[in-house]
Amino acid sequence: MIWVALLGPVITLLTHLSAGQIASALTGPGNLDPLVTSLEAGGITLLVLAGVCTPLAWMLARGRLPLPRVWEAGLLCSLLLPPLVIGLLLVFMVGPYTPIGQFLGWLHQDATNTFLALVIAEVYEAAPYYVLGAQAAFAGVDTRLEQQAGLLGDRPFRVFRRITLPLAAPGLSMALATAWARAMGAFGAVVIIAYHPFGIPMQIYTTLQETGLATALPYALVLLVVALPLPLAAYVWSARAERRRRG
């Protein structure tokens, strides 16, 4: 019952759509461009998170940073701020008249209303979810196993590659899946700093404003269909890894 109740909006979405509506909404010229934009921005966001935030999460989990509570509080601040506010603050941070904005201009880049801006907005919306999830995944790896691997001759990076990463991988994949879902659905910060190019959430918003709910809903379905496989795959892979460990 609880599951059905939680699925209420999705069920409502499915019951309010017909095949004709979906076809007419998605077959127009350029109608799938927002989908491509969202996928590309989401993919790059995941790469950035995996590359930059994974070491941060590991350091947090292993207490390698001074004043760890301060770092964690910083992450929570990002999580607590409404995405809309994050978008506003990003304007002040990377807008064209800021030092960062000017530096980007020098590189012929712009962090407002560009693809880069979309990625930045998605990274800021999704990063706390990934870091906190990855931190928990690393914290779940017994440090004595890492010590044992070290005593068996592995240097720290090799220990990380052979022990820490494989053991944390199910948790990391779940954290990535959560971050992916957050990035694909990012709207609050995006609407402020990256109105263009349209990703799917922006497409839903503008379509709703211009032509109404009936034409906006098919995009919501597309968002679900496209964004769901990765988290599902993460769940399946994570469960398989656990089964494999249990022999």
- Report H helices in 142-199: 143-151, 156-159, 165-184, 188-193
Cβ-Cβ contacts under 8 Å for 173 (sequence gap 6 or more) = 234, 237, 238
Q: Is 139 in the site for another protein (CB under 8 A)?
A: no
Choose, by CB under 8 A, the member of 65, 152, 225, 236 that binds another protein: 152
User: Minimum distance between the CB of residue 56 and another protein, rounded to whole angstroms?
Assistant: 24
Pick 228 or 241: Cβ nearer another protein: 241
Cα 98 from chain centre: 26
Pick 12 or 143: Cβ nearer another protein: 143
Q: Is 244 in the site for another protein (CB under 8 A)?
A: yes
Cα angle for residues 171, 126, 6 (degrees, 5° grid): 75
Amino acid at 121: A
Nearest C-alpha neighbor of 167 from the set 196, 144, 193, 194: 144
Pick 213 or 239: Cβ nearer another protein: 239
Q: Is 157 in the site for another protein (CB under 8 A)?
A: no
* The dihedral sign for the CA sequence 145, 151, 156, 157: negative
* Alpha-carbon span 159 to 138, nearest angstrom: 13
Q: Is 230 in the site for another protein (CB under 8 A)?
A: no
* Alpha-carbon span 105 to 116, nearest angstrom: 12
Q: Is 68 in the site for another protein (CB under 8 A)?
A: no
**Which positions from 10 to 29 touch another protein by CB under 8 A, shown as an x/- string?**
--------------------
User: Minimum distance between the CB of residue 142 and another protein, rounded to whole angstroms?
Assistant: 8
Q: Is 95 in the site for another protein (CB under 8 A)?
A: no
Residues lying near another protein in the complex (CB under 8 A) are found at 142, 144-145, 147-156, 163, 166-167, 241, 244-247
